[in-house]
Amino acid sequence: LRVTRTFVPLLAKSKAPRVINVSSGGGQLTGGADGWAPAYCISKTALNGVTSQLATALPKFAINSVCPGWVRTEMGGQGATRSVEEGADTIVWLASEAPQKLTGKFLRDRKEIPW
């Protein structure tokens, strides 16, 4: 939130300001996150809520959160089901090509998902 607030004046100079928050399926209230660390899940649920609030407060911005999925990174490990490219796809799309009117959403694979 502090980073976003710090950059809002600079982003506001853009014709199409965008903020993309990296969340997780663990932040979904509608899905099961059995076995996940509660603090991690709660922090991602909070991030999704902040995303929604910021989208309302900054209507000229496209502000969304993204679940990249289980990605083969240092955190995800080699057993993860997605490549880095697959995990980054929706993030890059939101930052560069997605409609500016798409805001306040939680997405995976370029589609809105419930949180």
Reported confidence tier of residue 86, pLDDT bands at 50, 70, 90: very high
40 is catalytic: yes
Number of domains in the chain: 1
Report the percent of the chain where pLDDT is more than 90. 90
In the set 7, 16, 40, 56, the catalytic residue is 40
| CATH code for the domain in which residue 92 is found | 3.40.50.720
What is the tally of helices (H) and strands (E) in the chain? Answer: 3, 4
Q: What is the pLDDT of residues 39-79, one digit of tens each?
A: 999 999 999 999 999 999 999 999 999 999 999 999 999 99
Structural domain harbouring 44: 2-112
Is the whole-model pTM more than 0.85? yes
Question: Which stretches within 1-106 are classed as H helix?
Answer: 2-11, 38-57, 84-96
